[in-house]
């Protein structure tokens, strides 16, 4: 299905509400101006025109829905690919039931960090508009995790919506629920152009080599020293943990109430990050939420993404796609590791 900028998305969300397919839609809506967005639950189809198709600032809708979503309602969500993948991973961990959600994925052009003033100046310039609408950012100004991203096309969502730079929209149903969504919006499915994922993956690979290459060349002791020097900056604000869509434990092992540290001591920052890495390193989504929240500008996302890529190559696991494919940390045994030739010493 093809439409002008935003028309397809508005039609889809209105159709879901009008038909009763969902009770509410969670999406980004415009805030104070075109570059400012806020998460919003929409229950009235007349309000769907508030939904924005492109937003620049990172915010995890999956994190919000896992913590605040009404478990007795069917909810439609307009999501970026990393949010859609987070929903799949949360479902694997029994934090939500995907059957209660209808995911409309928007192809993501990337985000910037809110604290980057140079980006803010660029965003508010008139050159950032096409016919009064925001346009995709140039690659060089994107957040590092977005430049490394291999999955800007939301094939893991029920419906994929791609909005081209010239304003045309292309919509694809990826699942049976996706076909229900398009049917509710009275949208007929026609053959259309396919996104070139090869180009996307090649570009992501170049940025990954640029960011990971030097670290991978280090000797193991040198690499460890590098990361420990980064962890030494940590002030224990818990921003990375609280913003990560995959950190959901109510009784967190890393919490200050664990009484592991006396009042006169400083929490062991190295243990904190290494423990988090062990818990979710095999499933990192490279969403960048942790790094965006860090006031000390520790490149946390780079570390987690780099480790995830290493583990993914060993275990052939891709997080956020197949709900029946469980994370290696929950399935791999010591015997499996020995068969793979992994050194356990």
Check residue 166 and give its pLDDT: 59
Residue-wise pLDDT tens digits, 304-319: 999 999 999 988 899 9
Q: How many Å separate Cα 53 from the centre of its chain?
A: 16
Q: CA 329, 159, 50: angle at the middle one, nearest 5?
A: 110
d(CA 181, CA 13): 8
**Residue with the larger pLDDT of the pair 76 and 110:** 76
The least confident of 5-19, 42-56, 164-178 is: 164-178
* Dihedral angle over CA of 91, 194, 143, 133, nearest 10: -110
Q: What is the mean pLDDT of residues 98-117?
A: 83
Residue reference for tokens 């660029």: 122
CA distances from 209 to 50, 142, 147, 212, 213 (A): 39, 17, 11, 5, 5
**Residue 84: other Cβ atoms inside 10 A:** 29
Task: Taking residues 199-220, report their average pLDDT.
Answer: 91
Read off the pLDDT band of 261 (50, 70, 90): low
140 neighbors 178 (Cβ within 8 angstroms)? no
Q: Residue 324 above 60 pLDDT?
A: yes
Among residues of the chain, what percentage have pLDDT more than 90? 45
Percent of the chain with pLDDT over 70: 77
Cβ proximity of 179 and 142 under 8 Å: no
pLDDT at 131: 52
* Residue 338 or 329, more confident: 329
Strand 169-173's sheet: what is its strand order? Answer: 2-3, 169-173, 159-163, 101-106, 75-79, 24-30, 37-42
HEC profile of the chain:
CEECCCHHHHHHHHHHHHHCCCCEEEEEEECCCCCCEEEEEECCHHHHHHECCCCCCCCCHHHHHHHHCCCCCCEEEEECHHHHHHHHHHHHCCCCCHHHEEEEEECCCCCCCCCCHHHHHHHCCHHHEECCEECCCCHHHCCHHHHCCCCCCCCCCCEEEEECCCCCEEEEECCHHHHHHHHHCCCCCCCCCCCCHHHHHHHHHHHHHHHHHHHHHCCHHHHHHHHHHHHCCCCCCCHHHHHCCCCCCCCCCCCHHHCCCCCCCCCCHHHHHHHHHHHHHHHCCCCCHHHHHCCCCCCHHHHHHHHHHHHHHHHCCCCCCCCCCCCHHHHCCHHHHHHCCCCCC
Mean pLDDT value across the chain: 82
Q: What is the pLDDT of residue 80?
A: 93
At residue 197 the predicted structure's pLDDT band, cuts being 50, 70 and 90, is confident
| pLDDT tens by residue, 282-303 | 999 999 999 999 999 999 999 9
Query: Average pLDDT of 28-56?
Result: 82
The rounded Cα 137 to chain-centroid distance in angstroms is 17
- Asked if residue 113 has pLDDT above 80, the reply is no
pLDDT of residue 31: 77
Res 2: pLDDT:
37
The whole-model pTM stands at 0.86
Q: Above 90 in pLDDT, residue 259?
A: no
- What tens digit of pLDDT does each residue of 134-171 get? 556 667 778 899 999 999 999 999 999 886 655 567 88
What confidence score (pLDDT) does residue 121 get?
A: 47
CB < 8 Å & 24+ apart, contacts of 220-229: 227/303, 228/270
**pLDDT score, position 210:** 93
The stretch 34-49 carries a mean pLDDT of 85
**pLDDT of 299:** 93
Torsion of CA 200, 205, 210, 216, to 10 degrees: 160
């Amino acid at each position: 299905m093809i439409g002008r900028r935003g028309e397809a998305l508005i039609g889809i969300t209105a159709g879901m509400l009008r038909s009763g397919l969902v009770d509410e839609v969670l999406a980004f809506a415009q805030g104070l101006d075109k570059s400012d967005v806020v998460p919003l639950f929409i229950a009235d189809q007349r309000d769907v025109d508030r939904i924005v198709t492109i937003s620049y600032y990172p915010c995890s809708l999956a994190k919000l829905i896992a913590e605040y979503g009404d478990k007795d309602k069917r909810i439609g969500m307009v999501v970026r690919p990393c949010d859609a993948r987070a929903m799949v991973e949360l479902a694997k961990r029994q934090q939500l039931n995907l059957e209660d959600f209808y995911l409309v994925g928007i192809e993501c052009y990337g985000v910037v960090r809110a604290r980057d003033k140079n980006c803010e100046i660029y965003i508010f310039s008139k050159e950032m508009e096409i016919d009064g609408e925001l346009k995709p950012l140039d690659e060089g100004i994107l957040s590092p995790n977005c430049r490394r991203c291999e999955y800007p096309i939301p094939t893991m969502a029920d419906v994929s919506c791609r909005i081209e730079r010239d304003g045309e929209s292309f919509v694809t149903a990826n699942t049976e629920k996706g076909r229900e969504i398009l049917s509710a919006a009275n949208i007929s499915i026609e053959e259309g152009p396919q996104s070139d994922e090869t180009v996307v993956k090649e570009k992501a690979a170049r940025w990954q080599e640029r960011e990971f290459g030097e670290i991978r060349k280090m000797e193991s002791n040198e690499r460890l020293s590098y990361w420990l020097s980064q962890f030494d900056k940590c002030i224990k604000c818990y921003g990375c943990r609280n913003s990560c869509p995959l950190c959901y434990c109510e009784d967190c092992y890393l919490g200050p109430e664990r009484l592991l540290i006396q009042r006169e001591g400083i929490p062991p920052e190295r243990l904190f990050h290494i423990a988090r890495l062990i818990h979710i390193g095999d499933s990192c989504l490279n969403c960048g939420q942790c790094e965006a929240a860090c006031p000390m500008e520790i490149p946390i996302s780079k570390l987690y993404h780099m480790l995830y890529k290493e583990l993914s190559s060993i275990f052939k696991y891709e997080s956020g796609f197949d709900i029946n494919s469980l994370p290696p940390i929950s399935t791999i045994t010591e015997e499996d590791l020995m068969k793979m030739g992994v050194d356990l010493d």
